[in-house]
Structure 1
Amino acid sequence: MIRALTGFSTRHPWKVIALWSVIGIFLTVVAGALMPRAMQAQTGDFLPKGYDSAAALRTAEERFGVTSDAGVFTVLVGRADGEALTGADEKAVASVAEELGGRRVTMPDPRDTPSTSDDQIPFLVTDYSQTPEVHVSMTAPDRAFTLLSVRLEGNTVDPGMHNLFRAFREHAEDAFAEVRLRTGFTGGLADQVDTRDAEEPTQRIVGMLMLGLIVLVNVLVFRSLCAAFVPLLAVTVVGGAATGVIVGGALLTGTSLDTSTPSMISVVLIGIGVDYFLFLLFRFRELLRDRPDAPPRAVAAEVGARVGTAVTSAALTIVAAFATLGIATYGGFQVLGPSVAVAVLVMLLASLTLMPALLAVTGRRMFWPSRALERTPRPGLAGRTGDFVSRRPLAALLACTALLGALAVGMHGIRMDFGQGATPRETEAAATASEIARALPAGVSDPATVYVTAPEGGSVTPGALGALSGELARLNGVGEVGEPVLNGQGDAARIDLYLTSESQTQAARDLVSGPVRDTIAAHTPKGLEAHVGGTAAIFADLSTAVDEDLRKVFPLAAGLIALILLVLLRSVLAPVVLLLSVGLCFAATLGASTLVFQHALDGPGVNFVLPLVLFLFVVAIGTDYNILISDRIREEMEGPRRARDAVARAVRHTAPAIATAGIVLAASFGSLAVGSNASTQQIGFATGLGILLSAFVLSVVLVPAAAALLGRRIWWPVRPRGHRDHGTLPEPAAPVDTAGEHRPGPLPVPSGR
């Protein structure tokens, strides 16, 4: 199958390239236009229905018409001179708020909003023009300001919704300025827009630097502009196609993507796509040197068939690992797993078709203007590393184990942080939130909400909830309890709790999941049902769901990877070596992350998603590199040379590809570390570190050292066809060329050349 695909692609390269180009560009444009419609910004919507906060969300929607697809934010209104509000000022505030609540906010012209995504297609952009819901919420005790609560309907991740908020903000600023009052905007949609505006320049610079690093690394390695830019262009086209497939699939199936999924997929595709192309390029250059008279198309076909097997094995390992997220209870994981799996499958198809086709078309021109094809390369650092590992395998194995073990010790005392907060930034929204917090409870802009409902035909009265409100007000950590608000039918009530801790802190989560829920269970009037919603409640339930998922996904993913390795390597011992090595690498990476984020930076712990995401990426991608080196070691052991000589040769030829790929992939993931989201920062740092350890420690040293120690026994029970090891006795010499390397036979010329 693999040989058939690569053979067809190298016989008809221009057709394959044209087909991928058309499909890739079309799906890229469609994905850019439809992506916002496929995403869901509310974490609570990904929780299973059985959780208390999920039940609160359903109550809010069914009884109060509050949908998760909405943007809520807070407007601070105060005097420009800093004095306390007067009675006349409060009347002016109420009047302007009523005017804003009755005035339709229209979508600005996209040409006047440079922040609008460049991928938006006019006829596919949703018109969010609407009349906002505005009401006065409360006044500070010192009368320094009054707060307004504003609600806009729409998907808060859509750039069009952000533009609508900017239009409302401009209207509100002008309206209050006319009565000499100042404004500030914070919470929800306001935070999102300000954070995005603050981060966008940095993200653009980091993205350009990442792409520049990939190009620079390839230029330094291949001394060729073509070899530097062609892989990046190809991966960009394929990445767009994969994203389009995922977005289209999500819309067709009614599945919502988490907001972090697109960026994660983009990083994965760029990283592994360039990796796979590099594996092909290194082997292509090697065979062109060995066969100077062979037709490039024949060499490309052979490279595609040889490396394609290892790439397929590696890609299927990642697919299997992420497919296990399908059994997770948290919907965010359920979406991420299949999305990454589909993206990797698309990239795998490109690796077996588009990439060999590009090699067939460019041929030796791929490495122009370098003259590396005309001379035999010196062993260099890779050669010296291979010699050392083959001569001193036990020392190399112990050194790697000691290094990884020392880092793994850092896991001692690890704590999980379930916060989703952003790193503080100097934004207008952050400044407004700080001003509010100095006068009111910290959770005033994002309260916890108790929803009390009556059975069908029943009713809820404010008087019946007096005892419950009183007990909640007495809890330590609850700053203020709002008056019960009934819905239109009178069968449900909402009670807002303004906590003294910010909603995304551990203190808020502990308070809501413990004392608040216990109080509600004990004091809810008989015959009524109550649930707690809000950010703190959602994250408290999320911590429980993720903890369950970790216990299920870890063993299943490890078992699937072991089964795949057992089938692919046709060995019992080799998979054990590979799994033990990647397991130790995972522990070392998590330990190092704990040392950095929990101890060195004095943080509350490592983000709750880090162990799972790190396990899947480090184990799966680490296995990728291990499969590549193992496949080459097995190939070299097929010959008559001694096992340790085969290991040395395999490291010499494969280490440069693994090292280059590791740097590129680590840089790709490292770009996630730049941003305000704490979880993304940790994932970027930890995954980048794990990939570097996988490439430079595991695949280049540890696994080859284990293979040198075990010899051909590592492939038991199906050993390679080479001679058995006989202690230190030399094996029969193979024919060599003037460089001392085995000279492969001629390649067949593919038909249709």
Structure 2
Amino acid sequence: MIRALTGFATRSPWKVIALWAVLGIAMTVLGQAFLFRVTQPSTGEFLPATYDSAAALKVAEEHFGAEPDANPLTMLVARADGAKLTDADERRIDDEAAKLARREVAMPKPKDAPPFTQDHSQVPRVSPAMTAPDRSFRLLAVELTGNPMDPGMQDLYRAFRDHARADFAEAGLRTGFTAGLADTVDSADAEKTRSTVVGIAMLVVIVLLHVLVFRSLLAALLPLLVVSVIGGAAAGAVVGASLLTGIQLDASTPQLINVVLIGIGIDYFLFLLFRFREQLRTRPEQTGRAAAAEVAGRVGTAVTSAALTIVAAFSTLAVASFGQFRVLGPAIAVSVLVMLLGSLTLMPALLAVTGRKMFWPSRGLRREPAEGMAGRMGRRVAKRPVTMVLASLALLGALAAGLAGMRMDYGTGGGGDEKTASARTAAEISRALPAGVSDPTTVFVTASGGGPVDPRALGGLSKALAAVDGVGQVAPPVPSQDGKAVRIDLFLTADAHGQQARDLVSGPVRDTVTAHRPDGTEAHVGGTAALFADISAAVSGDLKLVFPVAAGLIALILILLLRSLLAPLVLMISVGLAFAATLGASALVSEDLLDRPGVNFMLPLVLFLFVVALGTDYNILISDRIREEMEKPGPARAAVARAVRHTAPAIATAGLVLAASFGSLAVNPNPGTQEIGFATALGIMLSAFVLSIVLVPALVALLGRSVWWPVRPRRADDRTAGHHGHDRHHGHNGPAEHEERSLPVG
């Protein structure tokens, strides 16, 4: 199947290129046009209905008109001269709020807007909330509806903010906005320049790496172009699948898919390019098309196995209970399958068309390169495998020590550093009111039989909640319009995004609600703190399920690819060590160096999948080449040395490219995304430079051909002699033979 695809691509390259060009453009347009219509901004929608906060969200939607894509904001209004608010000021603020609530905010539509752009124009919900006890400001509750990650929705918020600011300024008042969409937009605006610079820098680094390695501008630029085309098609496929199935994506999924595709796509092209250049050097008489066909057929097997490893790993997320994981896994799996198809068709077709021109003006095809660092490393690993194994284990063990005492942070990554206008507004509010005013915890009470609920019967519950340590204020009960539900807002003294608030809500608050709710009623606790308390429980259960299932599937793929039981065990142990070392190092950086409350709750699972799956890519490449070299005459350690010499440059370059791709996430304004970017980049570097170039080859050098048990690769001299013992009696010179016989096994 694999050779059939690569063979067709190299026989009819122009047809394949034309098909991908059309497909890439069409699917890219589809993906951009409908991306934000298939993403779900509300994390609560991904929780199973059995969780308390999910049940509270359902009550809010059914009885209080809350919408899944609603964006609640807190608007602060104060006198421009800094004086205390008068009664006349409060009436003026409420009058202006009423005007805002009647006026439609039109969405600005740029000339270069893509087709099918969604119009977010709407009339916002604006209502008075409360005045600070010291009368320094008055708060208004604002709600805009739409996906906060959609640039169009962000532009709509900017338009509303500017209109409101101008209207209140005419009355001698100043405004500030915080929470939700305000945080997102202010962070994006503050980081826009840096994000652009980092994106450009990442592309420059990738291009320069290719130029330094291949000495060719075409070989440097073509991988980026190809990956962009295939990536656009993959993104369109994910969006199309979401539209057809009605399953919405998490807001962070598109960015993760983009990073994954850039990284693995360039990796796969690099594997082909390095082997293609090697083929042209060793077979100068061969045509470019014939060389492309032979290389694509050979490397295609390793690339397919590597891609299927990622697909299998992420597909296991489908068994997770937390919906954010459940949609992330299949989405990445679909995109990787599209990238695999492109790697087996479009990439070989381009090699067939360009041939030796791919490496122009480099003269590297005319001569065999010097041994270089890769050759010296190969000889060192083969000569001193025990030393290399111990050094690798010492490094990985030292980093893994950070796992001791590691803590999880289930927050959103928000901070009160006051670097943005939104953060400064939140800080101003918290100096006069409880920290949770802008993001309250809400108790929803309904009748067990679905009948009406009397708010007056909830006085005991409100009084009990007010007595809970950590609850700064309890708002009066508010009945729904249909009278079948009542909401009670709690303003906590702790930040709703922090661990203290989550502990408070999941413990004392829920215990109090259970103990004091009236007979015949049901009560659920919702809000940000309650939501992330439940997410912590869901994720903890998913980690225990996904880890072993993913490891089992990856091991099965390795067994089928390597036709061995011992080699997959060696690879799985090595990537397990890399995962532990990466997570431990991330904990040290987050908790000790950056003084954060813990590592992001998604990090262990995402890191496990990326490091184990992507790290296995490099292990597959080196293992496949070692097996190929062991089929040639000579001792096993010499085969390891040759494999490292030929493969280390491809692995090193691919590792640097993939690390740069993930490392770009480390400058994201969200600390959780920063952690994922840094940790994944570190894990990729460890996988490439420690595991695949040093540890795995050294272990194979120690085990010899027995590592492939029960199906050992047969050497060429064995096959020509017709029996296994031929080379022992008539074969190689004494030192080489002694080297192989002296191995512990094999």
TM-score w.r.t. the length of structure 2 is: 0.95
Could you list the per-position Cα deviations for residues 198-249 of structure 1 after superposition, in whole angstroms to 9, with x for gaps in the alignment?
2222211111111111000000000000000001100011001000000111
The answer to whether structure 1 residue 594 and structure 2 residue 587 are counterparts is yes
What is the CA distance between 1:30 and its match in structure 2? Answer: 1.7
2:710 paired residue number: 717
> Secondary structure of 1:106's match?
coil
Matched with 1:573 is 566
Q: Which residue of 1 aligns with 2:541?
A: 548
Distance in 1 (alpha carbons) for counterparts of 2:560 and 2:92: 75
Deviates more, 1:197-206 or 1:317-326: 197-206
- 2:654 corresponding residue in structure 1: 661
1:449 aligned counterpart, secondary structure: strand
Q: Secondary structure at the match of 1:110?
A: coil
Task: Please tell me the residue identity of whatever aligns with 2:378.
Answer: G
For 1:629 and 1:171, the matched residues in 2 are separated by 60
Letter in 1 for 2:672: S
**In the alignment, which residue of structure 1 is the partner of 2:434?**
441
Secondary structure at the aligned position of 1:89 is classed as helix
Q: Does 1:429 align with 2:422?
A: yes
1:642–1:730 Cα contact (<8 Å) kept: no
Question: Contact 2:322/2:538 (CA < 8 Å) preserved in 1?
Answer: yes
Q: Deviations over 1:49-96 (max 9, x none)?
A: 100000000000001111121121111111011010011111111111
Match of 2:744 in 1: none
Moved more, 288-297 or 421-430: 421-430
Moved more, 169-178 or 258-267: 169-178
Q: Closer, same or farther in 2 for the Cα pair 1:194/1:416, shift >3 Å?
A: same
Task: Say which SS state the counterpart of residue 421 (structure 1) adopts.
Answer: coil
Residue number in structure 1 paired with 2:376: 384
Check whether the contact 1:642–1:725 (CA below 8 A) recurs between aligned residues: no
- 1:523, distance to aligned residue in structure 2 (A): 0.2
Aligned to 1:405: 397
Could you tell which deviates more after superposition, 718-727 or 540-549?
Answer: 718-727
**Is the contact between residue 642 and residue 731 of structure 1 (CA under 8 Å) also seen in structure 2?**
no
Deviations 1:136-184 (A, max 9, x none): 1000001000000011222222222222212211221121112111111
Matching residue within 304, 311, 314 for 1:319: 311
Task: Kindly report which structure 2 residues correspond to 1:278-297, keeping only aligned pairs within 5 A, or say none.
Answer: 278-297=270-289
User: Is 1:670 paired with 2:670?
Assistant: no
**Residue 22 of structure 1 aligns with which residue?**
22
Identity rate, percent: 66
Q: Which residue of 244, 265, 274 maps to 1:273?
A: 265
CA shift, 1:121, in A, is: 2.1
- Alpha-carbon distance in structure 1 between the residues aligned to 2:225 and 2:730: 48
Equivalent in the alignment of 1:396? 388
The 8 Å contact of residues 418 and 424 in structure 2, kept in 1 or not, is answered as: no
Q: Which residue of 1 aligns with 2:232?
A: 240
- Corresponding residue of 2:99: 99
Name the aligned partner's letter for residue 219 of structure 1: V
- What is the aligned partner in structure 2 of residue 57 from structure 1? 57
Counterpart in the other structure of 2:736: none
Matches within 5 A, 1:526-565: 526-565=519-558
Secondary structure of the residue aligned to 1:382 is helix
Counterpart of 2:251 (choices 243, 259, 263) is 259
State the match for 1:187 in structure 2. Answer: 179
Q: Which amino acid aligns with 2:515?
A: A
Q: Please give the secondary structure, in 2, of the residue aligned with 1:134.
A: strand
> How far is the alpha carbon of 1:727 from its aligned partner?
11
Other-structure match for 1:524: 517
Aligned-partner Cα distance in 2 for 1:494–1:511: 19
Cα offsets for 1:108-137 (capped at 9, x unmatched): 2424xxxxxx6x424x12222222211110
State the partner residue of 2:86.
Answer: 86
Could you list the per-position Cα deviations for residues 693-741 of structure 1 after superposition, in whole angstroms to 9, with x for gaps in the alignment? 11011111111111111111111111111156999999448xxxxxxxx
Find the residue that maps to 2:73 and give its secondary structure.
Answer: strand
| Residue in structure 2 matching 1:198, options 176, 181, 190 | 190
Distance in 1, Cα, partners of 2:462 & 2:729: 86
Tell me how far apart the structure 1 counterparts of residues 522 and 289 of structure 2 sit (CA, whole Å): 71
Conserved 8 A contact 2:414-2:497 = no
Corresponding residue of 1:474: 467
Aligned to 1:2: 2
The separation in 1 between residues aligned to 2:104 and 2:577, in whole angstroms, is 59
Q: For the residues of structure 2 that align with 1:474 and 1:146, how far apart are their CA atoms?
A: 26
TM superposition shift of 1:568: 1.1
Distance change (3 Å), C-alpha of 1:726 and 1:686: farther
1:366 is matched with: 358
SS of aligned partner of 2:712: coil
* 1:609 is the counterpart of 2:605: no
Preserved contact between residue 422 and residue 676 of structure 1 (Cα < 8 Å): no
Q: Distance in 2 between matches of 1:313 and 1:634?
A: 15
Residues 265-284 of structure 1 deviation map (CA, whole Å, 9 limit, x = unaligned): 00000000000000000000
Query: In the alignment, which residue of structure 2 is the partner of 1:744?
Result: none
Change (3 A) 1:505 1:308: same
**Equivalent in 170, 177, 188 of residue 178 of structure 1:** 170
Across the aligned residues of Structure 1 and Structure 2, the Cα RMSD in angstroms comes to: 1.5
Q: 1:40 touches 1:157 (CA, 8 Å); kept in 2?
A: no
Match of 1:488 in 2: 481
- Change beyond 3 A, Cα 1:543–1:730: farther
Write the distance in 2 (CA, Å) between the matches of 1:80 and 1:225.
58
1:745 counterpart residue number: none
1:162–1:193: 8 Å Cα contact kept in structure 2? yes
Count of paired positions: 725
Match of 1:331 among 319, 323, 338: 323
**Distance in 1 (alpha carbons) for counterparts of 2:665 and 2:131:** 40
The residue matched to 1:148 in structure 2 has which SS? strand
Letter paired with 1:394: V
Q: Is the 8 A contact 1:301 1:356 kept in 2?
A: yes
Assess, with a 3 A threshold, how the Cα gap between structure 1 residues 258 and 729 changes in structure 2: closer, same or farther. Answer: farther
Given candidates 128, 142, 148, the residue that maps to 1:156 is 148
1:527-571, Cα deviation, whole Å (9 max, x unpaired): 011101110000000000000000000111111111111111111
CA distance in 2, matches of 1:441, 1:278: 55
Return the offset for 1:675.
1.3
> Which SS does the other structure have where 2:381 is aligned?
helix
Give, in whole Å, the separation in 1 of the partners of 2:709 and 2:100. Answer: 76
| SS of equivalent to 1:414 | coil
Q: Which AA in structure 1 matches 2:466? A: A
In structure 1, what is the Cα distance between the partners aligned to 2:725 and 2:266? Answer: 37
Determine which of 337, 350, 357 is the counterpart of 2:349. 357
Kindly indicate whether the alpha-carbon contact (under 8 Å) linking 2:578 and 2:687 is maintained by their aligned counterparts in 1.
yes
Q: What is the alpha-carbon distance in structure 2 between the residues aligned to residue 46 and residue 157 of structure 1?
A: 17
Give the secondary-structure state (helix, strand or coil) at the position aligned to 2:139.
Answer: strand
Please give the alpha-carbon distance, in whole angstroms, between the structure 1 residues aligned to 2:726 and 2:586.
Answer: 45
Which amino acid in structure 1 is aligned with residue 258 of structure 2?
A: S
- Check if 1:707 corresponds to 2:700: yes
CA contact (8 A) 1:414 1:594 kept: yes
Q: Separation in 2 of the partners of 1:726 and 1:457? A: 86
3-state DSSP class of the match of 1:517? helix
1:70 touches 1:156 (CA, 8 Å); kept in 2?
no
Structure 2 residue 28 is matched with structure 1 residue 35: no
Residues 602 and 718 of structure 1: CA distance in aligned 2, closer, same or farther (over 3 Å): same
Contact 1:425 1:676 in 2 (8 A): no
Distance change >3 Å, CA 639–CA 51, structure 1 → 2: same
Contact 1:711 1:725 in 2 (8 A): no
Structure 2 unaligned residues grouped into runs of 5+: 719-723, 734-746
Contact 1:235 1:273 in 2 (8 A): yes
For structure 1, which segment, 588-597 or 101-110, has the greater mean C-alpha deviation from structure 2 after superposition?
Answer: 101-110
CA contact (8 A) 1:142 1:439 kept: yes
Counterpart AA for 2:233: A
Kept in 2, the 8 Å contact 1:598–1:604? The answer is yes
Q: Which secondary structure does the structure 1 equivalent of 2:489 belong to?
A: strand
